[in-house]
Structure 1
Amino acid sequence: MAKVTKDMIIADVLRMDRATAPIFMRHGLHCLGCPASSMESIADAAMVHGLDVDALINDLNEYFVSKGE
């Protein structure tokens, strides 16, 4: 099963499954195509944007669980 962690790069998660984009956006990360997304960890992006990284990680992992991955 795919497991998303805080230290993963945003673009890597998007490559795992593009359907994760709405989850990132729902949590306030709207610039998924910006250069930073290809080198910025989820934790760093959440900190910069003042987001709850644990809630985001939880939602991403729940998505992968629901897919059976």
Structure 2
Amino acid sequence: MITRNMTIEQVLRKYPQTRQVFSKFGLECMECQIAQFEEVGHGADVHQVDVDTLLKELNEAISD
């Protein structure tokens, strides 16, 4: 399960299929160094994305 406290890099490393979800929500920081430190919740806040919606879609992506 993906949580708001996981870093973007942790999520992408463990669940590469989530890349499309991050892109859909405008979180294109997958290639930058900040991804290793930025938590999903913080990234959502910075990009003005509803974190609950983002988490729902990320977790749906890994349950397929």
Higher-Rg member (1/2): 1
- Consecutive aligned runs of 4 or more in structure 1 exceeding 6 Å deviation: none
The answer to whether residue 6 in structure 2 is matched with residue 8 in structure 1 is yes
Q: Which residue pairs with 2:27 in the alignment? A: 29
Gaps of 5+ in 1: none
May I ask how many residue pairs the two structures share in their alignment? 64
Q: Please state how far the C-alpha of 1:64 moved relative to its aligned partner.
A: 1.5
SS at match of 2:31: coil
For 1:22 and 1:34, locate their aligned partners in 2 and report how far apart those are by CA, in whole Å.
16
The amino acid of 1:13's aligned partner reads V
Q: For structure 2, which runs of at least 5 residues remain unmatched after alignment?
A: none
Cα distance, 1:19 vs structure 2: 1.6
TM-score (norm 1): 0.86
- Percent of aligned positions that are identical: 36
The amino acid across from 1:52 in the alignment is D
Q: Which structure shows the higher helix fraction?
A: 2
1:2-49 CA distances to partner (integer Å, 9 max, x unpaired)?
x00011100000001212111100011012111111101000111111
